[in-house]
Structure 1
Amino acid sequence: MTHELRVQAVHQVTDRKPLPPKMPQRLEALWATDVFTLSKMQASLPKDVFRSVKQTVQTGGKLDVSVAGAVAAAMKDWATSKGALYYAHVFYPMTNATAEKHDGFISVQSDGSVITEFTGKVLVQGEPDGSSFPNGGLRSTFEARGYTAWDVTSPAYVMETDNGVTLCIPTVFISWTGEALDKKTPLLRSIAAMSKAAVRVLTLLGHAEVAPVNSSCGAEQEYFLVDAHFAHSRPDLLLTGRTLFGKPAAKGQQFDDHYFGAIPERVQVFMQDVEERMYRLGIPAKTRHNEVAPGQFELAPFFEAANVASDHQQLIMTILKMTAKKHGFVCLLHEKPFAGINGSGKHVNWSVGNSTQGNLLDPGDTPHSNMQFLLFCGAVIRGVHKYGPLLRAVVATASNDHRLGANEAPPAIISVYLGSQLENVFKQISAGQPESSDHAGVMDLGVATLPVFPKDPGDRNRTSPFAFTGNRFEFRAVGSNQSVSGPLVAMNTILADSLTWVADELDSKMAAGADLNTAAHAVLKEVMDKHSNVVFGGNGYSEEWHTIAAERGLANLRTTADALPVLKADYIEELFDRVGVLTPVELESRFDVYAEQYILAIEVEAKLVISMAKTMIYPAAVRYLSELSSAIANLKEIGIALEQETAEKVAALTKSMTDMISKLAAAMDKHDFATPEEHMQYSSQTIRPLMDKVREYADALEAEVADDFWPLPTYQEMLFVK
């Protein structure tokens, strides 16, 4: 029966035709049509109201709540003209997912008639349940009040589905007692703190006019597509996002033929549909291509302000999943859906800048003489060295543990790659005075018809978790299923701390009589003397680097169980409190929430391993063993001696698997843990290895049991049947 379902699935997939692509529209006609942009505000608001809102959006000034009524009326008229009957305050709880509560514009009048109504008070504030979302003990079950508050810096939009149109308003989510229950509030605080410190440094450098500084983000999104007919036959994919069992196919990614290959027709139609939705929502999709593993793809948007980019990243994940369903796919955002081939990450490209000084991490043509760049880059180096374990902790999840350090993603050791040009400049700083920068040069291909073009001054290093890539840093350890908010909060916060230190040092040295240039070089030399250990340009996958990193005092936090307790460290608590991003209570709540999520994720997987092994794999093995044994016996009666090695091997593997299932089930019965840290280590060091052993025997059985007995769609089918 199960094999028949697999055969039917293969036929349904191979017979399926791609949905016809839509007639392409001009980008200008699509762009932000579903967004209540500043230009739409300007067309519908009184001039003084628009000026007030624009100033808040562009300069980060305080919102004048008195303008909310006019904005709400204009926003409602625009949304209802596009067919919206409901609005939703959209927020981002500590789940990596998006939450929304829908309310109707309907208002019943005394005579029984109805009108559409949306007031400024409703726009500014909402009230979802504050106890039913992860809160790490900030709210008791009986203390339910929580608030959403309008984030005017992230534009409202309408989300259109087959079921209708909804006005979506990005908001923060806080408790009745004022603590942040979400991912947006700390991000906004971190941007403000970083801007304050950056403006101070820029002012000390002599700039008379300094605009607020913002961080920018461009997050690459990797994902897998599996046909829904296969995915729906895999309980592990549906409930955990990854295959808990599965023998690798004979062909994987070893030929490197999928990466940047021709995009399958059905997938390209899906991508075009995704991109149209993104363009309508003002999300600047820039790149699409096949990724390394079969069935794996990537899209990347252009850089945006960090807060808007974070909101857009949440939308991207939603759009990918919604659109995949329409095209008969399931979109897998788990970091490691399939064993034996590359997993998925979300490389976060991060920089800082403003409208007056531009990109503050742009080295220019002569970085050795670009003091502004050197100070900001030096501040990043200092921050990553002092708080590298924090960067590891904010990407720590049960699913991301399958990638980090697995020779396909950055190692769990956090280091900074600068490239040969900048590494040489900072070595000159450490030795005394920087005097030169390596020139980029040109690439001459030796063929007259091919162009001569400039090459970059340094190569890229795909094994580095935190790499400088021309005018930004790329944080490559972020998981594909994660919100980018946590990493952005950490990067902004450590930069705010380091820039404050830079400003303090410059102030002190200049007050003692040093000129700006002398003071700045002294600051940079101190950075390199104390923090250059974090700079590494070699192979981050090598065992040699692990030895070198240990000698340099760099932490190697291999698992989430090792990394998350960093959030409870005194120096991390003091950092967030001093910079004004998270209070000690808010930070502790995040540790509690993420520790619980880690434990629960492994618990769900372990329960499913036991269930699938007992109810799907074991019966298939026993049925095959019974048929094989009968065939051997029947043939023996007529004088044909068939080898028994396969039957004995299947029997032994089945026995070993059931023994390991029993051990796993017994291990799951332990509940007396003194601390979350102890429980996480138990999940990491005891439960997960037992799950792996059950899988080891089950995957060996898949290699022996006849295909028409095997109950689960195989890797070969899921990854290669298009």
Structure 2
Amino acid sequence: MFDIDYAKTPVTDFYGINCFTETEMGKYLSDPTIRELKEVQRGQRELTSELADYVASAMKQWALSKGATHFCHWFQPLTGLTAEKHDSFISPTKGGKVLLEFSGKELIKGEGDASSFPNGGLRATFEARGYTAWDTSSPAFLKDVNGVKTLYIPTAFFSYNGEALDKKVPLLRSNQALEKQTLRVLRALGNTKAKRVVINIGPEQEYFLVDKKFYDQRPDLRLSGRTVMGNLAAKGQELNDHYYGTIGDRVTVFMSELNYELWKLGISSKTQHKEAAPNQFEIAVVYDAANLSTDHNQLLMDVLQMVALRHGMVALLHEKPFLGVNGSGKHDNWSLSTEDGTNLLAPGSNVEDNLQFLIFLTSFIKAMDEYAPLIRCGAATAGNDHRLGASEAPPAIISIYLGDQLTSILDTITMEGCCAKSDRQFVKMGMTMLPQLPKDLTDRNRTSPIAFTGNKFEYRMVGSSQSMADPNIYINAAVAHVLEEVALRLEGAQDIALESHAIIREFYQDHKRIVFNGNGYSKEWKEEALSRGLPDFKDTVSALPQLVNEKSIELFEKQKIFTRSEISSRLEINLQTYSKQINIEASIMVEMCRKFVIPSVIRYVGTLADSIAKQEAIGFEVAIQRQTISTVQNALNQAIEGTELLHVCIAKALSYKDEVLKQAQIYRDEVVSQMQNLRSHLDLMETYTDKTFWPFPSYDDLLFRL
């Protein structure tokens, strides 16, 4: 549990105390040294060994003063999780003594076994060498686990030959590519003051909480993160009483400690509330630079799970832990700003006259339309297949919600060839005691995959367990490509204003098919999207191959984000991950049926049959009881047969281990289908089986017992 003194201490007194921020650096480094490091972070100078030694010494002193004994390079391999290798600060000396040392060399570079991480063929098993390299733009931090403190150093991970083996390297490359093209556009528009551009993202993290005692009794939750069987409780989310509801005492205390732990790490958790499904919650943090925000989200998921355990609960990050209620996503709020905080997607008081805003807006529209298949890949996972288009997450068809007012402005520009005027609208409340409120340019649309929300785009498709890196790499790459075209046109234009208007009109006219302000869940939209020619990749297996179509590869290579071999490796890894996830879920389903459900229901049927026989012997009417036992027996027979069929399907899929796409297709088409069929019989049996016989905690236990 957290130190009780924190409850009496202002947040400002302990915020960031476990993060090696510039403030903490100032206690151990001179101002000139800090300035040099900031220049390295901005890409204005190379990191020297002398500077690295200064920073390493300061980090060590800071970490030791906090009670740390070890340090580790913390990186994000292609597992989608984080990885770390710990080393102590000790260095033996003569006489059986030790010194506490940490050099610039140890700070800058570490070495690990690259062959033991997913690499998609980039490394052979015998080619084991991989490196971690200090990411100077993401501050080091201390992780405190029950008083054991370790210095964590965010790093990139790459192979002996320089291939990216993680999610950080391509994210940094994509940030750099987008910053370069954005600055070119700003220069062409006459902005000579902006020196840097920051890609900002703000993730909203959804999760479930369940009592650990029930979690421990569910092999499917423990091994796969979701329930592969389970009948809905009598009450779900149909009353809409959970969303934004009063937070219970147990969860309130948990959230309080979670915030303390995050704030100490310098993670600015801001908003927390109940979500739509029972025992589902959300936490959102303040926007930050894409790389840092991605690191923080990975750390947040880790801390979330750690703190939940302290309170006898388990935090579930799977996209669909429970069938029949909403799953969990992660909204990716994306925007561009200059280093002085000017948001390039924020309209002015007269939006129509704001050429800069409209150029960046229509460039984003064009990028999302041209590279819709790639953007779809940013949300392609086995877990997310359960959510997309299921009235809890956007459909798999990429579209953009702009709102009626902004759409009208763009339509007017397209038709009339100029930026028309319009008066600002107000929300009239109809009550004199409430003031008129300026009306936002857009309403909100929860059915849209990408929604413009006033000064940012909200990419709503990301799964709750995903890293923020991939979705933002693909968005950054697509927008950088379009802005490069804009820069070339503006740089060669004789009249910047005329060319700007031409770009806005052309981009919107050619790509407005992707703009849709209606109900994305409706059948009519799917039909209309098809008529508009919008791609619809309904599942992960059909979406992922779009990573390596020639258009995607050309984009990545031109923007210097991925080489052909690097992106090909990611396709293989992602397909393998999909297959492995489905295999785990299907295998545990077979095991739960064979070892628990089938024997338990057989015992229950036997007990029920004995009871019926005794009642019949003394003249009781047993027609209804016989109907019940017939229903259960039939479902039991179907379950026994279905379990064996599922086992056969798994074996078939495993036989295609050397054909990753074919294997994934079999898991999708045959294994998942058979799991759904088997589940229908299992869930029916649960509704008829005495609870004392049913071997697992029910949805009632899992969702309504906190």
Q: So what's the TM-score if we normalise by structure 2?
A: 0.97
Segment of structure 1 superposing worse, 668-677 or 680-689: 668-677
Q: Does the alignment pair 1:552 with 2:536?
A: no
Shift of 1:408: 1.1
Is the CA contact 2:650–2:667 (under 8 Å) kept in the aligned structure 1?
no
Q: Does the alignment pair 1:284 with 2:251?
A: no
Q: Tell me the SS of whatever aligns to 1:215.
A: strand
Query: Which residue identity is paired with 2:640?
Result: T
Shift of 1:693: 0.8
Is the CA contact 2:198–2:339 (under 8 Å) kept in the aligned structure 1?
no
Shift of 1:356: 4.5
How big is each residue's C-alpha offset from its partner over 1:269-327, in whole Å with a ceiling of 9 and x where there is no partner? 10010000111011111100000111000000000011100000001000000000000
Is the CA contact 1:18–1:266 (under 8 Å) kept in the aligned structure 2?
no
1 CA distance for matches of 2:675 and 2:424? 51
2 CA distance for matches of 1:577 and 1:528? 26
Q: Does the alignment pair 1:531 with 2:497?
A: no
Q: Does the alignment pair 1:669 with 2:651?
A: yes
Provide the residue aligned with 2:127 in structure 1.
143
Is the CA contact 1:421–1:438 (under 8 Å) kept in the aligned structure 2?
no
Q: Tell me the SS of whatever aligns to 1:696.
A: helix
Is the CA contact 1:200–1:503 (under 8 Å) kept in the aligned structure 2?
yes
Is the CA contact 2:181–2:484 (under 8 Å) kept in the aligned structure 1?
yes
Provide the residue aligned with 2:634 in structure 1.
652
Alignment of 1:200-211 (within 5 A): 200-211=184-195
Query: Which residue identity is paired with 1:568?
Result: V
Segment of structure 1 superposing worse, 203-212 or 176-185: 203-212
CA RMSD for the aligned pairs? 1.7
Shift of 1:249: 0.8
Q: 1:587 aligns with which of 561, 564, 567?
A: 567
1 CA distance for matches of 2:103 and 2:4? 42
Q: Does the alignment pair 1:432 with 2:416?
A: yes
Q: 1:692 aligns with which of 662, 676, 681?
A: 676
Shift of 1:672: 4.2
Q: Tell me the SS of whatever aligns to 1:540.
A: coil
Alignment of 1:627-642 (within 5 A): 627-642=607-622
Is the CA contact 2:548–2:568 (under 8 Å) kept in the aligned structure 1?
yes
Shift of 1:111: 2.9
Shift of 1:24: 4.1
Give the 3 Å change call, closer, same or farther, for CA 143–18 of structure 1 in structure 2.
closer
1 CA distance for matches of 2:3 and 2:353? 56
Q: 2:502 aligns with which of 522, 527, 533?
A: 522
Is the CA contact 1:86–1:167 (under 8 Å) kept in the aligned structure 2?
yes
Q: 2:308 aligns with which of 317, 324, 345?
A: 324
Is the CA contact 2:244–2:275 (under 8 Å) kept in the aligned structure 1?
yes
| Corresponding residue pairs, total | 702
Give the 3 Å change call, closer, same or farther, for CA 22–236 of structure 1 in structure 2.
farther
Is the CA contact 1:125–1:150 (under 8 Å) kept in the aligned structure 2?
yes
How big is each residue's C-alpha offset from its partner over 1:197-223, in whole Å with a ceiling of 9 and x where there is no partner? 001000000112221112001000000
Provide the residue aligned with 1:247 in structure 2.
231
Shift of 1:458: 2.1
2 CA distance for matches of 1:404 and 1:666? 29
1 CA distance for matches of 2:421 and 2:96? 77
Q: 2:359 aligns with which of 326, 351, 375?
A: 375
Is the CA contact 2:271–2:285 (under 8 Å) kept in the aligned structure 1?
yes
Give the 3 Å change call, closer, same or farther, for CA 297–60 of structure 1 in structure 2.
farther
1 CA distance for matches of 2:535 and 2:430? 46
Shift of 1:141: 1.1
1 CA distance for matches of 2:358 and 2:247? 41
Alignment of 1:290-439 (within 5 A): 290-356=274-340, 358-436=342-420, 438-439=422-423
Provide the residue aligned with 1:95 in structure 2.
79
Q: Tell me the SS of whatever aligns to 2:429.
A: coil
How big is each residue's C-alpha offset from its partner over 1:87-126, in whole Å with a ceiling of 9 and x where there is no partner? 0100000111111110000000123211100000000000
Q: Tell me the SS of whatever aligns to 1:340.
A: coil
Give the 3 Å change call, closer, same or farther, for CA 340–279 of structure 1 in structure 2.
same
Q: Give % identity.
A: 43
Query: What runs of 5+ residues in structure 2 fail to find an aligned partner?
Result: none
Q: Does the alignment pair 1:104 with 2:80?
A: no
Shift of 1:566: 0.6
Q: 2:586 aligns with which of 596, 601, 606?
A: 606
Is the CA contact 1:284–1:301 (under 8 Å) kept in the aligned structure 2?
yes
Q: 2:106 aligns with which of 122, 147, 157?
A: 122
How big is each residue's C-alpha offset from its partner over 1:459-488, in whole Å with a ceiling of 9 and x where there is no partner? 111100011001000000000000001111
Segment of structure 1 superposing worse, 433-442 or 569-578: 433-442
Query: Which residue identity is paired with 1:669?
Result: A
Is the CA contact 1:241–1:333 (under 8 Å) kept in the aligned structure 2?
yes
2 CA distance for matches of 1:375 and 1:357? 19
1 CA distance for matches of 2:422 and 2:261? 44
Is the CA contact 1:19–1:327 (under 8 Å) kept in the aligned structure 2?
no
2 CA distance for matches of 1:28 and 1:35? 14
Query: What runs of 5+ residues in structure 1 fail to find an aligned partner?
Result: 1-16
Query: Which residue identity is paired with 1:233?
Result: Q
Is the CA contact 2:401–2:517 (under 8 Å) kept in the aligned structure 1?
yes
Shift of 1:371: 0.6
Provide the residue aligned with 1:132 in structure 2.
116
Is the CA contact 1:493–1:579 (under 8 Å) kept in the aligned structure 2?
yes
Q: Tell me the SS of whatever aligns to 1:202.
A: helix
Query: Which residue identity is paired with 1:322?
Result: M
Is the CA contact 1:385–1:531 (under 8 Å) kept in the aligned structure 2?
yes
Q: So what's the TM-score if we normalise by structure 1?
A: 0.95
2 CA distance for matches of 1:356 and 1:273? 34
Q: 2:483 aligns with which of 466, 488, 499?
A: 499
Provide the residue aligned with 1:597 in structure 2.
577
Query: Which residue identity is paired with 2:648?
Result: A
Query: Which residue identity is paired with 1:645?
Result: Q
Shift of 1:18: 13
Q: Tell me the SS of whatever aligns to 1:185.
A: helix
2 CA distance for matches of 1:359 and 1:342? 33
Q: 1:570 aligns with which of 538, 545, 550?
A: 550
Segment of structure 1 superposing worse, 616-625 or 477-486: 616-625
Provide the residue aligned with 1:12 in structure 2.
none
Is the CA contact 1:442–1:452 (under 8 Å) kept in the aligned structure 2?
yes
Give the 3 Å change call, closer, same or farther, for CA 379–24 of structure 1 in structure 2.
farther
Shift of 1:449: 3.5
1 CA distance for matches of 2:422 and 2:544? 40
Q: Tell me the SS of whatever aligns to 1:172.
A: strand
